Structure 1
Amino acid sequence: MKRLFKDGQAMIYWCQKCGEPIFDKELHACKCDGKIKQISSSTTCNPVFLQERKMLSYIAGDDLTSAKMWDLGSGHYIVNGEKRDIRYKAWYDAKEHLKYADRLRSNIEIEEDYSPYYGAVEANLEYLKKLILEAEMYTISVYKKFSPKGFYPTISFSGGKDSTVVSKIVRDALQTASIPHFFGDTTLEFAETYEYTETFRKENPFVPMLPSETDNDFFYFCNHVMCPPSQHDRWCCNIFKTSNLNKELEYLPKNGKSLSFLGIRHSESVARSTYERTQEESKISTQINAMPIIEWKDYDVWLYIVYKNIRFNNCYQYGYKRVGCWCCPNNSDLSMMLTEIYHPDYIAKWKKTIMDFAKRDGRTDPEAYYEEGKWKVRRGIKDSQQMNVTIADTACNLSDKARNIIVEKKISKDIIELFKPLGKLDIIEKKDATYISVFDRDKSNEFRKCCELIITVGTNVIKVLPEDRIDINMLINRIKCQVRKYQMCVRCHSCDSVCPYGAIDTTQGYYHIDERKCAHCKACIAHYYNGCIISERNSGKKEA
């Protein structure tokens, strides 16, 4: 695919004859002799819809509701063919937006007629057709590559513009509407996202729309288990997005192996700018990720939406540039301002959560901590005592290599579930204790006994008796990882998405490992630092 970057930048031009933005001047020159000038080197040139124009009218101090506007990013606009700067930041900082919030909120007008933007599509039609053809050909090729290997096509649907576009591209390319769409409901979506998803489902009755929703309470985690997420500690993605989707994929044909088409694009963020277009390893163990529009820019997405006359999430009509969790620490000031205007109830709840945390953490000015956005860039915990993740082990008198592992939580039979990844278990119940022999393949690839574990219900000690050939330090560290899960598990479901074989299930109220599926690969044991995501985050570590 031809990249649209030149020296790392995209170029946006303006045709004075067409009166429209141009994204490939060479292609445009083949059909139009109008004078072309460069107007921007950003990746943004989005149509500005009526509801956003109303807000911009208040900021600019003059009526822009009837203007034809394009947003070039960073407060730069094209208004009726002329460049103009309209800055919202000072307006937001001065709380001016609150004066107009009721007015905007009580009179929401949604543009359903895209005809004012057809000129831009016509001026860039050859450019757009090349993009579409390439994206569809990629979709077909990646499907042909992985379908014979047992991967079933799915679409990850967020209710945002990018996943909406990918849905249409993939369905058109594969000539079927029956591709399952997984809607990852984090429970933190905008009301408009739920409304749009339902509208999409009704307008596309042959598309299977499968909600993937967690039963965890985000605010309980913020207040009692973790801390509110920050840009440097986004634990919420694992617990509220990835883990529940992994369980849904198990119900797919072909053993739950998914070729997932995603609406991820390089230009969205620095982190995503290095993504491979096809990811054969992902956060979800049974999933291959394919990204048909990874090289598309914002303006490409909007051209496609107008060209195909696709309905989209109303949040974009308000002025949101991205639509995800409404309290995400990566949300811009513009997003926060718009949420204060259109969803003040969301903001009130989130502000209380942040301020309560600030008080618990010994912050001297909780109000400023929230208002100045310091919660977004938090690293670790300031004054709060971090959760103790240290597990002691001592020498055991049963043999020279035997060790005692000291467990804070009283031992119950539930802990045996956590021993299953270590190997095949042979359990013998005696009056004094439970004796567990662990069998696994060792370095010589011979399947034989590796160690014996002795537990007594109601005590705090696990006795570990390794065979002579076993690396005792590695064994003890693995057992400690499992013990941390036992001590700290809140059934956040993060572990569920780690197992390549789908053997782990924490959705039924307890930690369960299906012995029929577990291959003892041990991928789950230390996937998270110290073995558990709760331990990882509370110890100040972060998953690599």
Structure 2
Amino acid sequence: MAEVRLGKMHLRWCDQCSVPVLEDVKCARCGNGTHQVEMTPPGDARPAFQHDIDFVRNQVDRQFGEGTGETLLPDGSVYLFNKVPALDRMDEVIADGEVVITMRYDLGIGWRALPRVKAAARIVRKASKNLVWADQGAVEPILGNQSLMAPGVNKVVGDFQKGEEVIVLDPEGNALATGVARMSSEEMRNAERGAAVKVRWAERSVPSAERPKADWNIAIEANARVMERRVREGVEFILKLAEEHADIPQVVSFSGGKDSLATLLLTREAGLNLPVFFIDTGLEFPETVAYVHRLKDELKLDLVLGKAGEDAFFGNLEFFGPPGKDYRWCCKTNKLGPTVKAIVEHYPDGVLSFIGQRRYESEQRSAKPRVWRNPWTPGQIGASPIQDWTSLHVWLYTFKSGVSYNPWYENGLDRIGCFLCPASDMGDLDVARSSPTYDRWDTFLRAYAEKKGLGPEWVEHGLWRWKRVPPSVMEELKRNIPGFELVRKDVPRTGEGNLRLKMQDGFSPCTLGFSIEGAFSRDLDLERVSSVLNMVGEVDVGADEGWCSVGNVTMFREGALIAKGADQEKIKRDVEKVRRAVVKAEECVGCGVCIARCKEGALVLMQGKVRVEATRCIHCGDCFEPCPAISFGDAAFDF
């Protein structure tokens, strides 16, 4: 994937103390020089907790043999995870100041460990499978990053399949390269031609130097100077904003995550004892809600609570269907709506909210200013004291404070939010599934899939997370699962009575833009609807995937609607045009009035319903009305 740079890469390493050092060219603990850690941008590395370390160890054991995982990541060291842009979740694991292995979630397969040569050198004496010995003549080509060809294979250890990760050794048994097997172990033993291993990384391995034992207390000492600077600047920022807006109430917005915790701690370090504003979306992990109340007691917080309605999500689910990365109606019902309501109730004259937003979280947040006015909540000013902090700045500050943090960080999640968030990677959902709260969601998804004629793979591979599944996702699944297809059976159309459109609109806190998510009260005849939509504009159709779009509005066979853009009023006008066209298509009584109004001869009656010949339509809209379906059968939509 394309490189994503969201800010300066701050991570360095002190070899003397064997810990990460942020920004400073000298270690604050020992005074020795530090070196830059080479890793993939954006470089928002975080601590690897024991759960993360065990996860890597177990996967390495599965791939290369019992005991290799602990040999790679022994106790008594500090390790980091660096999340990398990928189709799903991918983390680089940093040990001793360099990336030694990458953990990647492959759709349709699951987790894989991709070791670098440094990792291979550490574990090769312990490894008992997925090993390939190269002969002397193959060494130099491999070091030139060429594939290991079958004639150059001397020996194979273990039984593996094509596509698995392997370690390539030189004739002396030293790690030489790592890569992916291009044939099975059995084929490799007998093949006389062809590529045996596609080399990903290659270099002559050297024995690793013995590193001193290290822990996070040492890392805190090593980063004392930079953290002192960061905290001082954050406190000054908070005090300046508090003085400038002394005429309105001030709060800390708290999500239960590490970033809002760091922001809360900074405000207290500034001497401000501000109320803490928490919105329970109704989709939080139970541990998150319990943690918020526990922290309230721990720090004696003045907690201001807002809460989504009891049925804000599951009550709307039957109508809207599952939310998606491209269909985030839940942000409005469970996050934005309750937030606006609580702010209006508690702070009707405006409020200054200190928020734990960071540029390294996403491209959208990187582009956002440090102080902003909420476009959907008049009077609310947002400000982020930690906008330029990396995740490691936040964790070092939190560790030093000794204040408790959300337990989910130590159970595999790097970001805390709604347990069923469609923006989650499959690697994250694997963790979320361990929560009993996920069972209800899984049950709903399977019932929904059956009702809509979707195969079990729609649930199992997380395809519910999109209305329009990206081609790259489908390609990966087809590559990893021979014969994979998304099954979509014909099922009877659902819904009775006049067609109705229910919508959630507003500023999207997830995409930082204006969007409308809606659903018609029944499934749509996509062929008929896409034809009549030509009255509005040029139409794109994905018949196999079950969608059609015109302009910035997309509709789906099951009745869902999505519209996005920068101009709120324009989107509303566009949606109203589309709504009328859909009603016209679905409720047409075959009167022929619109056909007579079309000067281009683009309208015809087929089986008693109007159709539009796209090649003749000029999208003038003169044929829209008068229309009995719109004038008499049309029910106004609900915002």
- The alignment's TM-score, normalised by the length of structure 1, stands at 0.61
With over 3 angstroms needed to count, the CA separation of the structure-2 counterparts of 1:77 and 1:15, relative to structure 1, is: same
Q: Is 1:357 equivalent to 2:454 in the alignment?
A: no
- 1:163: how far off? 0.7
Q: Is 1:66 equivalent to 2:162 in the alignment?
A: no
With over 3 angstroms needed to count, the CA separation of the structure-2 counterparts of 1:527 and 1:201, relative to structure 1, is: farther
- Percentage identity across paired residues of the two chains: 23
CA distance in 1, matches of 2:6, 2:257: 29
- Quick one: which of 228, 234, 238 aligns to 2:322? 228
- Quick one: which of 381, 389, 397 aligns to 1:288? 381
**What is the match of residue 597 of structure 2?**
none
Cα deviation, 1:216-256, whole Å, max 9, x if unaligned, reads 42453453221211111111111111222223223436x44
Cα deviation, 1:293-314, whole Å, max 9, x if unaligned, reads 1111111111111122221001
CA distance in 2, matches of 1:353, 1:153: 40
**What is the match of residue 127 of structure 1?**
226
With over 3 angstroms needed to count, the CA separation of the structure-2 counterparts of 1:83 and 1:208, relative to structure 1, is: same
- 1:325: how far off? 0.2
SS in 1 for 2:37: strand
- 1:169: how far off? 0.8
1:180–1:210 CA contact under 8 A, matched in 2: yes
- 1:95: how far off? 8.5
CA distance in 2, matches of 1:75, 1:320: 12
**What is the match of residue 185 of structure 1?**
280
CA distance in 2, matches of 1:360, 1:7: 43
2:313–2:333 CA contact under 8 A, matched in 1: no
CA distance in 2, matches of 1:204, 1:8: 33
Q: Is 1:155 equivalent to 2:244 in the alignment?
A: no
Q: Is 1:374 equivalent to 2:469 in the alignment?
A: no
**What is the match of residue 432 of structure 2?**
339
CA distance in 1, matches of 2:80, 2:278: 30
CA distance in 2, matches of 1:278, 1:95: 39
CA distance in 1, matches of 2:230, 2:462: 39
2:426–2:462 CA contact under 8 A, matched in 1: no
1:185–1:213 CA contact under 8 A, matched in 2: yes
2:373–2:379 CA contact under 8 A, matched in 1: no
CA distance in 1, matches of 2:294, 2:22: 32
- 1:184: how far off? 0.8
SS in 2 for 1:39: coil
1:230–1:329 CA contact under 8 A, matched in 2: yes
- 1:526: how far off? 6.2
With over 3 angstroms needed to count, the CA separation of the structure-2 counterparts of 1:10 and 1:37, relative to structure 1, is: closer
1:265–1:293 CA contact under 8 A, matched in 2: yes
**What is the match of residue 279 of structure 1?**
372
For residue 52 of structure 1, what is the amino acid of its counterpart? D
Q: 5+ residue gaps in structure 1? A: 97-114, 391-524
With over 3 angstroms needed to count, the CA separation of the structure-2 counterparts of 1:539 and 1:281, relative to structure 1, is: farther
Q: 5+ residue gaps in structure 2? A: 62-68, 84-89, 113-213, 470-487, 503-567, 584-639
Equivalenced residue count is 372
SS in 2 for 1:51: helix
Q: Which stretch of structure 1 is more off in the superposition, 81-90 or 39-48?
A: 81-90
SS in 2 for 1:137: helix
- 1:319: how far off? 1.9
Q: Is 1:32 equivalent to 2:31 in the alignment?
A: yes
SS in 2 for 1:89: strand
Cα deviation, 1:414-447, whole Å, max 9, x if unaligned, reads xxxxxxxxxxxxxxxxxxxxxxxxxxxxxxxxxx
CA distance in 1, matches of 2:429, 2:282: 18
**What is the match of residue 529 of structure 1?**
572
- 1:133: how far off? 1.4
**What is the match of residue 306 of structure 1?**
399
- 1:361: how far off? 3.8
CA distance in 1, matches of 2:395, 2:335: 26
Q: Is 1:166 equivalent to 2:241 in the alignment?
A: no
Q: Is 1:84 equivalent to 2:112 in the alignment?
A: no
With over 3 angstroms needed to count, the CA separation of the structure-2 counterparts of 1:14 and 1:22, relative to structure 1, is: same
CA distance in 1, matches of 2:390, 2:461: 31
CA distance in 2, matches of 1:116, 1:279: 38
Cα deviation, 1:426-483, whole Å, max 9, x if unaligned, reads xxxxxxxxxxxxxxxxxxxxxxxxxxxxxxxxxxxxxxxxxxxxxxxxxxxxxxxxxx
RMSD: 3.6
With over 3 angstroms needed to count, the CA separation of the structure-2 counterparts of 1:138 and 1:94, relative to structure 1, is: closer
CA distance in 1, matches of 2:344, 2:109: 47
Cα deviation, 1:480-521, whole Å, max 9, x if unaligned, reads xxxxxxxxxxxxxxxxxxxxxxxxxxxxxxxxxxxxxxxxxx
Q: Which stretch of structure 1 is more off in the superposition, 217-226 or 45-54?
A: 217-226
SS in 2 for 1:230: coil
CA distance in 1, matches of 2:418, 2:465: 14
Alignment of 1:94-493 (within 5 A): 94=110, 116-148=215-247, 151-173=248-270, 175-177=271-273, 179-205=274-300, 207-252=301-346, 255-340=348-433, 342-343=434-435, 345-363=436-454, 365=455, 367-379=456-468, 388-389=500-501
With over 3 angstroms needed to count, the CA separation of the structure-2 counterparts of 1:88 and 1:355, relative to structure 1, is: same
Structure with the larger strand share = 2
- The alignment's TM-score, normalised by the length of structure 2, stands at 0.52
